[in-house]
Copies of this chain bind each other. A is one copy, B any other.
Amino acid sequence: MVRVAVAGATGYAGAELVRLLSSHPEVRLTILTSRQFAGRRFTEAFPAFAGRVDLLCEEIDEGRLASEADVVFTALPHKMPMKIAPALVGAGVRLIDLSADFRFRDAAVYERTYQPHAAPELLARSVYGLSEVYAAEIAAAAIVGNPGCYPTSVLLPLIPLLREGLIEPGGLIADSKSGVSGAGRSPSLRVHFCEVAESFKAYNVAAHRHAPEMEAVLAREAGGGVGLTFVPHLVPMSRGMLSTIYARPAAGVGATRVRDCLEGFYRGRPFVRIRPPGFIPDTLHVRGTNVCDIGFVLDERNRRLVLLSAIDNLGKGAAGQAVQNLNLMFGFAETAGLDAVPAAL
């Protein structure tokens, strides 16, 4: 059994990690941390877990983490993971970080969007945790920078097509829509029920900090300049994310080649489903799972490829993919702890 700690266990991504890890067959949960609930039971924060998770929440203590855990998931605000990473990695503990701190190879790119990086020397030992794409590197990594939810939903459909040159790297548009849990559990007017119900809106239009993350990966994959306009929206639902992505197909590329490329790339991967023609992804179909459903329509008249991808923002968009990365890092079955059959609703 691998000993696992979750730092930041009482946010939504943290709680989803606790849910997945507490029934993972190869895992023993040893430590949960939470500033807000330190000294109290995890079940005070989430009564749903009563009778199933018995741990107390603690303050973060790098020494304790290093001695009690083989791997630490950090579901913390940006900036905090890079502060504790050196001590953990130095002690041989592996890190799966759900913040942005270890998603960039180039500290300068991180710093343009976020803040000065506190541990740039660790970036060389960290890998971007898009599981299906970078599985080999993830397996060997000391640190996995788990992708953001938006990037996961945008990159999974685009990378195979860019690698094969089936779409043009410029002029990409990602119009993404996220459920409210993506905004976290901290109360604010923005997540007040009455402000969300009957409301649909965009935010951070062409200015969201997930855009540089996507662009950095896409540029690496395309081998050069990529242009992406990214517009996130908020949907009045708790969990789920759908990205509608617009790309120019390369000359001569038709629907069959697009389909062959996507199906080929993801053949045998249990968590990406390329949906048959005429089938449109729906967040309800992936709720509570680690699955990414991908569909597409080629608008021949306008020579525009419309890709659609649905994930659960807390699943494949956060905790699910993090556990998948754990499985890759420790040589477990890729689906270990992630094979719950989805619910119809």
Contacts and interface: CB of A to CB of B under 8 A. Distances in A.
A240 to B, nearest CB: 6
Nearest to A53: B341
A345 to B, nearest CB: 5
Contact of A279 (B47, B181, B282): B47
A291 B285 CA distance: 24
A316 interface: no
Nearest to A181: B194
A46 B344 contact: yes
Interface string A163-193: 0000000010101010111000101110111
B193 A177 contact: no
Interface in A257-275: 270, 273, 275
Given A185-B194, A306-B229, A342 B48 contact: yes
Interface string A311-340: 000000000000000000000000000011
Given A193-B193, A195-B284, A306-B205, A200 B187 contact: no
A192 B201 CA distance: 17
B205 A341 contact: no
Interface in A98-125: none
Interface stretch (A11-19, A88-96, A139-147): A11-19
Contacts of A23: 339-341
Given A202-B280, A304-B173, A339-B23, A185 B181 contact: no
Of A192, A279, A342, most B-chain CB atoms within 10 Å: A192
Given A185-B192, A229-B299, A239-B345, A280 B203 contact: yes
